[in-house]
């Protein structure tokens, strides 16, 4: 379903990803783990046509994200690390825009939106502005939206970041359920090792832009002679703390806070 060969991405003054290779099979739940700034999001952006690789090869659902953008874009749904909903619109309107952009046939559109909103338990709130939603509700809405066009692959970039354990469990249950019922291949990143251990068939650990290890959670534990994935992760990536450049969302929030304070 996803094949990556010697993928490299260089920015002006840093090399984010260096010659990584991995494979994700159809119907698999695959976790991409790594410390902050290891290159996870950069890799997802390259897989999803948002960034052009410096070198290397990607096949996603059989297509090349550089030369066959539209085919690739129809193949996946994505929940970004930062929310990507329109807060001024309602849950239903956000779904509807997505349905139009992905050319979901008009005849089945309403029913599909209703099914998914019911699945993530947001149908009753469909006509509320997203602005009023909690973080967990927004995430659930984004997952529902990502599935609207029956994608072959669902990308989840830290979908449970900042959520309480109840909401996290709910979200993972949904993801498992979707993986079973729709057969969707799941590519996820998370910082929570027990989630990864519980959820995934296969894991790749990335550090400093390179793949440090890959295999099933069991294999990684055996390989590092540890008893939990967390220990395996630390054994593979060390315990120094990484500094990461602030994302644009953080910068905006900082700016807004500054403006508010300045008045």
Instruction: Give the interface with other proteins as residue ranges (CB under 8 A).
Output: 45, 48-52, 69-71, 73-74, 76, 78, 80, 82-89, 93, 96-98, 100-103, 129, 248-249, 251-252, 255
The token pair at 230 is 């967390």
Q: Provide, rounded to whole angstroms, the least separation between the CB of residue 36 and other proteins.
A: 19
**How far apart, in Å, are the Cα atoms of 129 and each of 85, 93, 113, 137?**
10, 9, 16, 12
* DSSP-based three-state secondary structure for 233: helix
Nearest residue (CB) to other proteins, 150 versus 198: 150
List the Cα angle 131/137/139 in 5-degree steps.
100
Q: How many CA atoms lie within 13 A of 102 on its CB side?
A: 25
Nearest residue (CB) to other proteins, 25 versus 246: 246
Nearest residue (CB) to other proteins, 4 versus 220: 4
Q: Provide, rounded to whole angstroms, the least separation between the CB of residue 232 and other proteins.
A: 32
Q: How many CA atoms lie within 13 A of 149 on its CB side?
A: 23
Q: Provide, rounded to whole angstroms, the least separation between the CB of residue 193 and other proteins.
A: 27
Nearest residue (CB) to other proteins, 93 versus 114: 93
Count Cβ atoms within 10 A of the Cβ of residue 72 and give its class: 0-12 exposed, 13-18 middle, 19 or more buried.
buried
Nearest residue (CB) to other proteins, 150 versus 180: 150
Q: Provide, rounded to whole angstroms, the least separation between the CB of residue 50 and other proteins.
A: 4
End-to-end CA distance of the chain, in Å?
52
CB atoms within 10 A of CB 255: 10
Q: Provide, rounded to whole angstroms, the least separation between the CB of residue 252 and other proteins.
A: 4
Nearest residue (CB) to other proteins, 88 versus 121: 88
- Closest C-alpha to 92, from 125, 120, 115, 133: 125
Q: Provide, rounded to whole angstroms, the least separation between the CB of residue 151 and other proteins.
A: 11
């Amino acid at each position: 379903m996803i094949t990556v060969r010697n993928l490299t991405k260089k920015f002006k003054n840093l090399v984010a990803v260096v010659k990584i290779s991995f494979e994700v099979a159809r119907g698999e739940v695959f976790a991409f783990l790594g410390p902050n700034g290891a290159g996870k999001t950069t890799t997802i952006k390259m897989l999803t046509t948002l960034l052009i690789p410096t070198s290397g090869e990607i096949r996603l659902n059989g297509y090349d994200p550089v030369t066959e953008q539209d085919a690739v874009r129809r193949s996946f749904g994505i929940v970004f690390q930062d929310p990507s909903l329109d807060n001024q619109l309602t849950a239903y309107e956000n779904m509807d825009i997505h349905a139009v952009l992905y050319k979901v046939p008009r005849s089945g559109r309403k029913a599909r939106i209703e099914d998914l909103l019911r699945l993530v338990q947001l149908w009753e709130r469909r006509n509320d502005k997203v602005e009023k939603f909690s973080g967990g509700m927004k995430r659930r809405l984004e997952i529902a939206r990502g599935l609207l066009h029956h994608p072959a692959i669902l990308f989840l970039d830290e979908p449970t970041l900042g959520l309480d354990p109840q909401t996290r469990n709910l979200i993972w249950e949904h993801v498992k359920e979707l993986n079973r019922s729709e057969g969707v291949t799941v590519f996820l990143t998370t910082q929570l090792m027990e989630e990864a251990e519980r959820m995934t068939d296969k894991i790749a650990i990335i550090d400093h832009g390179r793949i440090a290890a890959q295999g099933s959670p069991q294999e990684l534990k055996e390989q590092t002679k540890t008893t939990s994935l967390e220990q395996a992760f630390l054994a593979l990536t060390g315990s120094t703390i990484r500094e990461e450049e602030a994302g644009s969302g953080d910068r905006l929030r900082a700016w807004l806070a500054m403006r508010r304070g300045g008045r």
